[in-house]
């Protein structure tokens, strides 16, 4: 058995374990049309929104982490490394279970940067946001919205903020700091809101809550410490 087969098998096993799958290469198609969270209607305004922003998982910057790999174990420079796939599975377990619902409720809707977009700059090409949430979407049975590429953050946020319930966005870290966070804050001063995303950090979830569409955001940085070496230090 060659190395690619071994690695590919490990990736699929990790993905299937997190998603509750069978471990085979072929997985059932993900459904569109997410269902609203089961929330107490007495305490829930129709336009209430919880919005999570996470960075895609680990990428092939450090030679010690190995090459980028697709879920089939095929080398791809714009894909996650093995540790990134482990993190993707860990995110799926965290957001896809009832055990941590108070801090990490299961998303009703997931947005990820379009993995097939072809921006003019190679640095903006990435399959990693989609790959990071692929196991989670498989677990919850709802396909991600991938209508927007890296560089289309304003349009993506306009769509995301029109939703209700729980929305998760997985994106490229520089664009989170430069475009997504400033646009979410606008004129609101949000204590603790990062101004950039540390290049070395893949382990943080940013949570925004508002009780209705015209209310200000409340904000928290969350540190689930999913993998060995993860930190609880704010960005």
Least confident range of 37-46, 55-64, 122-131? 37-46
Both structure tokens of 24 = 């085979």
User: Tens digits of per-residue pLDDT, 199-225?
Assistant: 999 999 999 999 999 999 999 999 999
Sequence-distant (6+) residues with CB within 8 A of 6 are 73
Provide mean pLDDT across the span 25-29: 36
What the chain holds in terms of domains, given with CATH numbers, is 3-222 (3.40.50.1240)
pLDDT at 44: 52
15 within 8 A of 85, measured Cβ to Cβ = yes
pLDDT digits (tens, 9 = 90+) for 190-203: 999 999 999 999 99
Task: State the pTM of this model.
Answer: 0.83
CB atoms closer than 10 angstroms to residue 143: 17
**Mean pLDDT value of segment 19-37:** 40
């Amino acid at each position: 058995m060659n190395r690619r087969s071994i690695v590919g098998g490990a990736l699929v096993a990790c993905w299937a374990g997190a998603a509750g799958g069978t471990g085979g290469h072929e997985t059932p198609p993900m459904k569109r049309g997410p269902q609203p969270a089961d929330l107490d209607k007495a305490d829930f305004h129709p336009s209430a929104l919880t919005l999570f922003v996470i960075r895609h998982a680990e990428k092939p910057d450090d030679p010690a982490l190995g090459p980028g790999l697709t879920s089939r174990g095929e080398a791809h420079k714009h894909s996650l490394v093995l540790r990134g796939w482990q993190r993707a599975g860990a995110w799926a377990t965290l957001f896809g279970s009832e055990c941590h619902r108070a801090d990490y409720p299961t998303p009703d809707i997931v947005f990820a940067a379009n993995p097939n977009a072809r921006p003019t700059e190679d640095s903006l090409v990435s399959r990693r946001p989609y790959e990071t949430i692929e196991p989670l979407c498989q677990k919850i049975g709802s396909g991600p919205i991938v209508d927007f590429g890296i560089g289309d953050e304003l349009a993506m946020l306009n769509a995301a903020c029109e939703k209700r319930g729980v929305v998760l966005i997985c994106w490229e870290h520089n664009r989170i700091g430069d475009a997504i966070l400033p646009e979410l804050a606008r004129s609101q001063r949000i204590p603790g809101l990062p101004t950039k995303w540390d290049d070395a950090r893949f382990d943080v979830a940013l949570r925004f809550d508002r009780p209705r569409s015209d209310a200000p955001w409340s904000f928290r940085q969350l540190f689930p410490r999913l993998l060995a070496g993860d930190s609880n230090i704010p960005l």
